[in-house]
Structures are given as structure tokens and as C-alpha cells.
Amino acid sequence: MKILILNNGSSSLKYNLFEMDGERTLMSGTIDRIGLDRSNHLYELEGSSPVRRDLPVNDHGQALDELFHVLMEFGPISSLDELRVIGHRVAHGGKFKDPVRINPDVISEIRRMIPFFPLHHPAIALEIEECMQRVPNSLHIAVFDMTFHKTIPDVAAIYGLPYRYFSEKGYRRIGYHGHSNEYVTSKAAVFLKRDISELKLISCHLGNGCSITAVDSGRSIDTTMGMTSVEGLIMGTRSGSIDPGLIPVIMSEEGMTSDELLDMLYRKSGLLGISGLSRDMREITKAAANNDERAVLALEAFCYKIKRSIGSMLMVLGGCDALIFTGGIGLHSDVVRELVLRGSERLGFSIDRNINADCSKNVNNEVVDISSTESSTRILVIKTFEELVMARQCLKLAIGIENHRGV
């Protein structure tokens, strides 16, 4: 069965086409800078070198047209009807917690959650509707980032607000990067040659969005992201957790509307806001090495918040068998990994600096152990594969639907 997984951003469309018999990736790619200048499509077919197409892509509908054109013209299918299932990554499904077949009710619920996810949900809802129009014969399934975190207990999920916000409105810690956490923790268990039910793990997903998750016996028990994707760590353009008392003060002083405040918190803060330079950790690290004071501050504040959150998760778990770094920054930045773990040797975290440096140059390895011989906790760098987890979830639901039809 061929399953296409779509992962939408506000100005990008990432995709993977799988043949689930053998879990082969037939084609993968990214259509970037949608609606902006210099838009492009970078894709790679199984066993081939990457190919780049530079072309104007004005909206997500055009992005889908470009994707389907390349899939049929140069890719592994001759008809869109070969796409038995199309999976759509969704940050939050509202009342829907598990993968679900998309219908008007599901789309309505995704749109209802837009105020909570202004960066993601507008583009996701549009992409789903456009895709279902173009490929009506496929089974369209929504998979949710927060499904993995359903096991977070109420004591960790509740906010210190009047109880009705928790009981009636469902305002609680939800958590994200669930597909990534599920993948890397299962990979860690295989690498450590232990059953995941025996392990206490801390997963650090560090990219443009960042979160840290405590995983006990394969179950998420706490995470740094909250009801929205702006809580927690300092991120590329997102502020992370701030004093909520500052919000009305800033709005009053700056004469901001709520939309303008959200724009600042989601798009103009984080690494970009502190450094005044970039949201890209590679540029921040380079500028910091050249003694740019704000870049140094952005880098050190980013790592400090991670260090503090790891300490919190360590206490929640009551110990840690392995610490995992994943995501674009977690995978590629030896500088961030070293700064995060500097001074934590007495807690059992010690890296081999040479392996750590070499690891970032050899990211094709799925799992790299950067622990020193003195480290009592294994420190692993793991390349995530969120799309494969999503494809597996889609396959499970699709088989269930087909079996139900056959009854």
C-alpha cells in the first residue's frame, strides 16, 4: 500500500511517499518559500540524488499541483489513484485525539483550533481541503502531534487557573513533537538492547520548534510545550514561557492588539528576537563565535533553558537511562549539545567531545552514542523519522476501516 504523508508549514510543504510493504521511502521532498520569492522544490527519489526545481509557488494549492505533477511525471506513480492513503499532520485535533478519517466535522474542528495554533492550522486546513479536491478517491487521514502525550497525568497537565478552564474548556498541557518522541525513544530502546518498558528517557527535540519530554516505560509523563506550541523553551521565533503578567503591560505600553501580540510571540521572538539576527542556529553560532554579544546571549539563553528543563524532567522521572538529542539543532549542533551538558558531570551526564564534534559531520547514522566512558547516563543523538510513525498510524487505521467494510 502506498501512503503519502503531508507535513505543512505556513510557507512550506514537506512530504514522504511510502510503500508500506517493507516501509520503503519511494520519494521525499520539500516545497519551500510558498507565497514568497525564490520558492523551490527539492525532492529525492529512492536510490537517486536530490533534484531541485526553482519555480513560483504562490499558495498551497499550487504546491500540491507541483507535488502531484512531479510524482507522476518523474516519480514512482502514474496515477493519483495509486495513493491509497494520504496522511495529513495536524498539531491539534480538538475533540479528536487519535488518527481519524477526515470529514467535514474534522476540518471544522481543525479550524476551531486556529486561535491556539496561528502558525500551523490555517495552512493545514487549507491544504487538506485543496488536497481532498484534487485526490478525492484516496482515504484522507489526520494524524495528531499530541496523541503521544495523552498519557500525561492531570497533575502535570493542569494549569493554575480556575478549575473550570481545565474541566469544562479542556485548557491543559497538550504537548507536541509526539511522532518524533515515539520514534526516537523506540530507536533508543533498540540501540540499548532493552525493552522500552524498562527505560526512563528524556527526549530533547530541538529545531525551529523545541520541546523536552520525559518518557517513562514508553509513556509520556511530562513535556515542556503546553496547550499551544509557544510555551516552554526558547525557539527559533517563538518566545517560550514568559511571565504572563507581562502580557497586559506590553499590550498597554505598545498599544498592541491581541493579534499583534501573538505575532510578536510566535514570529518575532526567540532566537530571532534576542539576537536581532536570525532564527537559524547556524547563523547564531557563527555570530557568537565572532563575539557578537546578542548572538552569544541568544545561544547561551537557549541552552540554559534546555539545561533547566532537563533537570526538571530528571526529577519527574526519578532518574534517567538515556538522554536523547534530535531535531535539526539536536542532530547538527555539537556546540548546543556541549553547552547544554557542560557542568552536569556530577549528575551523570558526560560527553566525549571528539565523538560529539564528529557526530554532527556524520548525521547519516541513525543513532550515535556521544557519552564519555565516565558518563553513567547514555547520551544519544538520534535522527528522527516522524513521517514513518505517521505512515504506520495511517496504515493501522486504513486496515481497520477496510476490515470494518468487509464485515
List CB contacts of 132: < 8 A, sequence separation 6 or more.
102, 140
Distance between CA 99 and CA 144 in Å, rounded? 6
Order of strands across the sheet with 40-45?
51-54, 40-45, 24-32, 12-19, 2-8, 85-90, 139-144, 100-101
Q: What is the DSSP string of 32-54?
A: ESTTSTT-EEEEEETTS--EEEE
Q: Is there a catalytic annotation at residue 145?
A: yes
Which segments of 69-218 are extended strands (E)? 85-90, 100-101, 139-144, 200-206, 210-216
Question: Residues 188, 311, 238, CA angle at the centre, nearest 5°?
Answer: 85
| Closest-CA residue to 266 (of 181, 203, 208, 307) | 208
Distance between CA 85 and CA 102 in Å, rounded? 11
- CA 246 vs. chain centroid, Å, equals 28
Q: How far does the chain reach from its first CA to its final CA, in angstroms?
A: 21
| Residue tagged active-site, from 145, 216, 222, 334 | 145
Catalytic residue numbers read 145
